Structure 1
Amino acid sequence: MKWSELCIQTTNEAVEPISHILHESGASGLVIEDPLDLKKERESTFGEIFELNPADYPEEGVYVKAYLPMNDVFEETVEKIKGKVSYLPNYEINIGKNYVTLTEIDEEDWATAWKKYYKPVKISENVTIVPTWEDYEPSADEIIIELDPGMAFGTGTHPTTILSIQALEQYLAQEDVVIDVGSGSGVLSIASALLGAKYVYAYDLDDVAVNSTRINAELNHLKDKIEAKQNNLLEHVAIKANVIVSNILAEIIVKFVADAWNNLEDNGLFITSGIIQDKKQFVIDELKQQGFTILEINEMEDWISIVAKKA
């Protein structure tokens, strides 16, 4: 079978919604090429080693690449993707140049092409994300999250995910009950369980994400601690949690602030990420209006994470 690499030149702001569109459309092996990666002094943080080729990166914006099978519905799928991406400005999401290119790839090349981008990455003092095909020897106190990024939503090393896991690492208490809203690959659910959560309820509207959360939970031997279900945000959820974590767009977060309040125990925490600088105050105002106390605001590469408490 032939495969096609679909490349969209867009903005950092649009990476997550476009990634979601691509996965909903059946794409595999998502790759994000951000020229800012070339300028990072990563080795000074946790000691990772990266080999990046500047020729692979755009001079402006970000490349989002995915792989589609060239079957009978290929052309129709590409047109639907283009249409959905072009509609994002209606949600006040800047999609930048929105240049789309297609490159045909043989199956044997596709099978390994996207994997070269994914290596073990230490994202905090104690947590390292390791692709399932990589051999990695952890240190004594290291927490390992095994992830198959070909299943859904990338490797878990986007700044918004890193901010979320760092917040969980700081605030999650042993035996806490956690709700993960918009679970994607399940990386935050897995991190919560490995950091000591008693039980995690993972919800996503996309059944591809729900399945990926289940598969990745099993890869990490956590299927007995993580329950993944298809659901629209927190609609009809009656569970009381100590922590709710959600790494999705600001526009979506504000839609369920009241539900998050209702689903949290007293003194419970609402950890949100996926927020761009321009939308920070928008989310803060909504949280405060509901009654939340803002405990902490963290930033990484123009992305924001907020930790709020039901006081």
Structure 2
Amino acid sequence: MRWSEISIHTTNEAIEPISNILHEAGASGVVIEDPFELKKEREDQFGEIYQLNPDDYPEEGVIVKAYLPHNSFLAETVEAIKESINNLILYQIDIGRNTVTLHEVKEEEWATAWKKYYHPVKISEKFTIVPTWEEYQPFSSDELIIELDPGMAFGTGTHPTTVMSIQALERTVKKDDVIIDVGTGSGVLSIAGAMLGAKNVQALDLDEVAVESARMNIKLNKVDDVVTVEQNNLLDGIDTQVDIIVANILAEVILRFTEDAARLVKKNGYFITSGIIQQKKQEVKDAILSAGFVMVETIQMEDWVAFIAKKM
């Protein structure tokens, strides 16, 4: 089978929405080339492996790559991707250069191209993300390992918005909690919730590709007895009372269901939100407070914000 690599030169702010656009267009994984990775200070005691080549990264901005089947619909697919990216401006998202390039690759190149970017990374006090093909030995008995395959998942689980979400779950999940993960994507937050002791996790996503990816990763991590995955639009039709709702999605989407979250979260339960750019920080915060939550903590990493709010 023939494949085409699509590359979008954009901004860090636009990584998440563009990745989502690419997945909806049929991409089975994305690669993010961010020059910040070349400058990041790292320690070796957590088992990370870093062999980064500066030639693989742009001098400024970021490049998001994905692989699409080279078929008769490719031209229409690429045009639809370009249109969707241009529409991000309507949401005040900076798309930067927005240079889109396309070239054909051999299947064996497509199958392994992204692996050089992805190695074990300790993302929080307890969790380490490990690609399925890497051998990794935990450094402590209480270290929690999440295995992911970005060839079928939505990203590697190491983006700041995901890291902050998992850190927030570490601070809030109690044994036997009930959790809803809105916009589950790869299922990584649901997996983390289950590993932290939740007795039931409901993972929701509107995208059927995400649903299948989440199911595969959840089974891979042996938490399918705790986590169920369903195709669903946000919290529509959900009546379950829960201890925690976590959502790592665009700020504009979070604004659509803060009232529903307040309806479903139990007293003293938590609403964790991430995927929020700095420009949207106050708007999302105001909506969460207006829905009846009390802000417990604001977490910031690079240009991203996450909130931990409590139902009083």
- TM-score between both structures, scaled by the size of structure 2: 0.97
Runs of 5+ in structure 2 lacking a partner?
none
* Residues 276-301 of structure 1 deviation map (CA, whole Å, 9 limit, x = unaligned): 11111111111111221100001111
Helix, strand or coil at the partner of 1:60: coil
Tell me the equivalent position of 1:29.
Answer: 29
- Aligned residue type for 1:67: Y
- Kindly provide the amino acid, as one letter, of the partner of residue 95 in structure 1: I
> Equivalent residue for 1:107?
107
Is the Cα–Cα contact under 8 Å of residues 192 and 200 in structure 1 kept in the other structure? yes
Conserved in 1, the CA contact under 8 Å of 2:179 and 2:245? yes
1:86 alignment partner in structure 2: 86
Residue number in structure 2 paired with 1:73: 73
| Other-structure match for 2:52 | 52
Inter-partner Cα distance in structure 1 for 2:262 and 2:295: 13
* Displacement of 1:171: 1.2
1:146 paired residue number: 147
Residues 1:299 and 2:300 are matched in the alignment: yes
Aligned partner of 2:126 in structure 1 is: 126
Structure 1 contact 31–64 (Cα < 8 Å) conserved = yes
- Aligned residue number for residue 229 of structure 2: 228
Find the aligned partners of 1:23 and 1:29 in 2 and give their Cα distance.
7
Give the conservation status (yes or no) of the 8 Å contact 1:152–1:208.
Answer: no
The 3-state SS of whatever aligns with 1:43 is coil
How far 1:60 sits from its partner (Å)?
2.1
Give CA-to-partner distance per residue, 1:232-277, whole Å, 9 cap, x none: 1101100111000000011111111100000101111001100111
TM superposition shift of 1:44: 7.4
Taking a change above 3 Å as real, the CA distance of residues 267 and 276 of structure 1, as seen in their structure-2 partners, is: same
Q: Tell me how far apart the structure 2 counterparts of residues 19 and 176 of structure 1 sit (CA, whole Å).
A: 31
List structure 1 runs of 4+ shifted beyond 2 angstroms: 44-49
Corresponding residue SS for 1:52: coil
Deviation (angstroms), 1:47? 5.8
Structure 1 CA distance, aligned partners of 2:108 and 2:44?
Answer: 36
Q: Structure 1 counterpart of 2:136, which letter?
A: Y
Aligned to 1:155, the other structure's residue is in SS state coil
- AA at the equivalent of 1:129: I
Equivalent pair of 2:49/2:120 in contact (CA under 8 Å): no
State the AA in 2 paired with 1:54: P
Kindly report which structure 2 residues correspond to 1:180-191, keeping only aligned pairs within 5 A, or say none: 180-191=181-192
Deviates more, 1:30-39 or 1:238-247: 30-39
Paired with 1:186 and 1:138, the residues of 2 have a C-alpha distance of 22
Q: Is the Cα–Cα contact under 8 Å of residues 249 and 275 in structure 1 kept in the other structure?
A: yes
In the other structure, the counterpart of 1:95 is 95
CA contact (8 A) 2:48 2:119 kept: no
Matched residue type, 2:90: N
Residue 257 of structure 2 corresponds to: 256
Displacement of 1:45 in angstroms is 8.5
> Would the alpha carbon gap of residues 28 and 223 (structure 1) be closer, same or farther in structure 2, given more than 3 Å must change?
same
Q: Which amino acid aligns with 2:13?
A: E
Q: Which residue of 2 aligns with 1:136?
A: 136
Shift of the alpha carbon at 1:48? 2.6
CA distance in 2, matches of 1:118, 1:191: 19
Question: Structure 1: which amino acid aligns with 2:84?
Answer: K
2:167 corresponds in structure 1 to 166
Q: Please state how far the C-alpha of 1:306 moved relative to its aligned partner.
A: 0.5
How many Å apart are 1:46 and its aligned residue?
A: 4.5
- Is the CA contact (8 Å cut-off) linking 2:121 and 2:129 kept in structure 1? yes
Deviation string, structure 1 residues 6-53 (Cα, Å, up to 9, x no partner): 100111111111101101111133101111111111227956331211
Q: TM-score, normalization: structure 1?
A: 0.97
Aligned residue pairs total 311
Query: What one-letter code is carried by the residue in structure 2 that aligns with 1:188?
Result: L
Provide, for residues 116-137 of structure 1, a one-character-per-residue CA deviation record: whole Å limited to 9, x for no partner: 2111111112101111111112
Distance 1:90 1:283 in 2: 17
Confirm or deny: 8 A CA contact 2:161 2:275 kept in the other structure: yes
Aligned residues of 1:23 and 1:152 also touching (Cα < 8 A): no
Q: Which residue of 2 aligns with 1:194?
A: 195
Deviation at 1:152, TM superposition (A): 2.8
Q: Matched residue of 2:78: which SS?
A: helix
Residue 108 of structure 1 aligns with an amino acid whose one-letter code is: E
Distance in 1 between the 2:49 and 2:41 partners? 10
Rounded Cα–Cα distance in structure 1 between residues aligned with 2:170 and 2:46: 16
Show CA shifts across 1:129-161 (max 9, x none).
111111112232110111111113111000000
